[in-house]
Amino acid sequence: MDVHGRIREVLAETIREELAPEHQQLSTEDLIRALRQRGIIDDVMKELKFVTDVNEMGKTSAPKPSTHFVDREPPVLKKTNIDPTRRYLYLQVLGGKAFLEHLQEPEPLPGQICSTFTLCLHFRNQRFRSKPVPCACEPDFQDGFLLEIHKDSLGDGSKMVDATTMLSICDPVHMVLIKTDTFGETTLVASYFLEWRSVLAAENGITNVAVELLGVGTESKVSVGVLNIRLEMYPPLNKTLSSEITSTQFTLERQKTAEKERLFLVYAKQWWREYLQIRPTHNARLVKIFAQDENGVNRPVCSFVRPLRAGRLLDTPRQAARFVSVLGHERAPVIGGGGGKQEQWCTLLAFLCQNKGDCEDHANLLCSLLLGFGLEAFVCVGTKAKGVPHTWVMTCGSDGTITFWESLTGHRYIHRPINPDDPPLAEQPKPLYPYRTIGCIFNHEKFFGNCQPSDAVEVCVFDLHDESKWKPMSGEAIKSVCAPGATSSVPPFPPLCASTIDAAVTSNEMEVQLRILVSEHRKDLGLSTVWDDQLSYLLSQALAAYELERTTGVSAGNEEFQDAVRRAVPDGHTFKGFPIHFVHRNARRVFATCLRSPFCEEIICCRGDQVRLAVRVRVFAYPESACAVWIMFACKYRSVL
């Protein structure tokens, strides 16, 4: 890490020793000899990782298409262009200790796959990820991150920021620790907001902090482990602040936040009392004003949503809905039974780093993206069939059209309310959506409680300006605690990251694995396997059409696919195909799921004359390394009847 510093020390020493007697000239060889004597060159050579020739790599890894070279092992230390006119915070993570849950973990053998920890950081619109390290009681994190204080080069960003200006920047460094098990399943271990401004009062501009990470959800009071973090300003500050100034600033900020939150709580209680006075039955409606985040902190629900622009990563609202639907769905884990649902709304960074979350996380993200696309979007809180609590998203068109978006599937439903006062024979619209009741709706600026006589969705009228139907909260009150930067307890939203998955390579790898699994399965049944590459290739057309239909709602290209299959399957032969969709990339799990389907099992275990099998995998990569994986198994055989 500190090669330059060590080389400088040795050179200074050598020059002192060698030059003192007769002021001779030192050649490069002399200096290199001095470095070699002290073993520094050997250290450097050990650290260097040479990227092997592409042809040599081909022998060990799976064959890759010639158009895609994927660097599996990125070079260890990337050079960063440091602009000397800008201010940076250099954050180093120097190992962890007391991760007691991993006290018994054996040392991983070389080459053995083990569970890993990854640290994800977000600071002022910049995101970073550490290298994965094996889970251990003292995980060996050795990573440095260069955080720019001003990412934008306009306005304040063009000036060198001084200590006083930086003291007013209250954005914390949000750190999320993720554990990935041997099957690639992720778990959220800890989420921590690091107050970095203590470095502004450090004597030599460097400060070391031991950060105690607490668990999440039900374990939010339990220590998970300690990270050693070193903070350094670059370039060094000309003058540092006194520690009294920084601590006074932090106290003031805390008091201001506490006061705003107290006033909002007083207002929310008053609003709730008024809401209950309209009808006593309102007590049973799902009106959610506060929600707990992963750290067990109660926050107003409006602070979980914010207009989010996806840059060039997503082009349309429907594509955004598709992206959110391919992020995994998982309930927050509960210890013990009882069937109660653990309530946990994740911060956006924790949700994205895990790549999975509950329906509330999906709805909050989809609503934020739709707001970013300029739509009037709200998160709806209500129930599905059998009274199961659920959240989904709704958009209000400028012509009054109400559209429901199911964030877990990407489906859209137009809402046409049933009028209960119509005569019994009048034709009523039949609702297609799965929602039963709705208690409240909210976005980043508005909150409405449903005060219509019935909270059933099918009779609900979404005239939000009519206070006899929807009781609004004061926009000012919401803004005081939910606007960006209003309070220090509302974390800033991270930007979305582009996918790091190479879709072509991943599709190929999964296809090769599935072919092996099918061949072995058939071998166990005493069947031989002959693959038809041409038929496999034809299946791509169908898979692309399915994904297009899921994204846009428009089906296209089916005629060509059917025509191609008819030409590929000779007279007297039968063709069977089975498409299936996944959001993970584990070939064994895919195969096990497919065998449970009688249609797919029939294809994989097909017996007959001239049986030819085909399988095609098509991975569609979305931001945040989320994937839609389409797989089609097919067979053709001669019908002997």
Burial (Cβ within 10 Å: 0-12, 13-18, ≥19) of residue 317 = buried
Phi first, then psi: what are they for 301, rounded to 5°? -60, -30
Amino acid at 627: C
| Helical ranges in 154-203 per DSSP H | 163-167
- Separation between Cα atoms, residue 241 and residue 246, nearest integer Å: 7
The pLDDT score that the predictor gives to residue 327 is 95
Instruction: Determine which helix (DSSP H) or strand (DSSP E) holds 349, and give its type and residue range.
Output: helix 348-354
Half-sphere exposure of 10 (CA within 13 A, CB side): 18
Angle between helices 533-552 and 317-326 (to 10 degrees): 120
> Which of 408, 617, 368 shows the shortest CA–CA distance to 512?
617
- According to DSSP, residue 198 is labeled G
Q: Which residues contact 143 (CB under 8 A, 6 or more apart)?
A: 92, 93, 119, 130, 131
Is the backbone peptide bond immediately before 494 cis, with ω within 30 degrees of 0? no
Q: Averaged over 552-556, what is the pLDDT?
A: 86
pLDDT in tens, 132-156: 999 999 999 999 999 998 866 555 5
Give the rounded percent of residues in the chain with a pLDDT score beyond 90.
66
Amino acid at 453: P
The pLDDT score that the predictor gives to residue 487 is 76
The C-alpha angle with vertex 139 and arms to 133 and 141, in degrees rounded to 5, equals 60
- Separation between Cα atoms, residue 133 and residue 117, nearest integer Å: 5
Higher confidence at residue 483 or residue 5? Answer: 483
Token digits for 229? 């973090």
Beta strand pairing status for 356-357 and 328-329? parallel
- Separation between Cα atoms, residue 405 and residue 446, nearest integer Å: 19
Specify whether the CB–CB gap between 94 and 228 falls below 8 A: yes
SS3 91: strand
> Which of 95, 92, 1 shows the shortest CA–CA distance to 46?
1
pLDDT, the chain, mean: 87
Read off the pTM. Answer: 0.84
Q: Averaged over 434-462, what is the pLDDT?
A: 95
The pLDDT score that the predictor gives to residue 425 is 78
- Separation between Cα atoms, residue 218 and residue 344, nearest integer Å: 9
The pLDDT score that the predictor gives to residue 63 is 45
**Residue 434 predicted with pLDDT over 70:** yes
- Separation between Cα atoms, residue 116 and residue 327, nearest integer Å: 21
Give the rounded percent of residues in the chain with a pLDDT score beyond 70.
86
Higher confidence at residue 46 or residue 315? Answer: 315
| Helical ranges in 152-289 per DSSP H | 163-167, 243-278
> Which of 295, 268, 143, 147 shows the shortest CA–CA distance to 212?
295
Angle between helices 587-596 and 503-524 (to 10 degrees): 50
Where are any strands of DSSP class E within 498-624? 573-582, 609-621
Question: Mean pLDDT lowest for which of 37-41, 80-84, 541-545, 588-592?
Answer: 37-41
Token digits for 168? 């007013």
The pLDDT score that the predictor gives to residue 424 is 80
For 434-469, b where at least 16 C-beta lie within 10 A, e where not — what string? bbbbbbbbbbbbbbbbbbbeebbbbebebeeeeeeb
The pLDDT score that the predictor gives to residue 4 is 66
Token digits for 221? 């009071």
- Separation between Cα atoms, residue 346 and residue 190, nearest integer Å: 11
Specify whether the CB–CB gap between 413 and 432 falls below 8 A: yes
How many Cβ atoms sit within 10 Å of the Cβ of residue 134? 16
**Residue 78 predicted with pLDDT over 60:** no
The pLDDT score that the predictor gives to residue 51 is 45
SS3 64: coil
Token digits for 403? 């559209």
Place of tokens 């996380």: 361
Amino acid at 16: R
How many Cβ atoms sit within 10 Å of the Cβ of residue 628? 23
How many Cβ atoms sit within 10 Å of the Cβ of residue 247? 12
Domains of the chain: 3-47 (no CATH), 88-241 (2.60.40.150), 251-332+343-482 (3.10.620), 503-638 (3.40.33.10)
Residues facing residue 471 across a β-bridge: 449
- Separation between Cα atoms, residue 467 and residue 452, nearest integer Å: 10
> Which of 548, 627, 635, 562 shows the shortest CA–CA distance to 590?
627
**Residue 41 predicted with pLDDT over 70:** no
How many Cβ atoms sit within 10 Å of the Cβ of residue 237? 19
Place of tokens 């994190």: 141
- According to DSSP, residue 382 is labeled E
3-state secondary structure 28-56: HHHHHHHHHHCCHHHHHHHHCCCCCCHHH
| 24 — pLDDT class (breaks 50, 70, 90) | low
Specify whether the CB–CB gap between 442 and 454 falls below 8 A: no
| 182 — pLDDT class (breaks 50, 70, 90) | confident
The pLDDT score that the predictor gives to residue 152 is 63
Amino acid at 234: Y
pLDDT in tens, 360-417: 999 999 999 999 999 999 999 999 989 899 999 999 999 999 999 999 999 999 999 8
Phi first, then psi: what are they for 333, rounded to 5°? -70, 140
> Which of 38, 450, 402, 152 shows the shortest CA–CA distance to 285?
450
Question: Mean pLDDT lowest for which of 55-64, 92-101, 376-385?
Answer: 55-64
pLDDT in tens, 195-233: 999 999 988 889 999 999 999 988 888 999 999 999 999
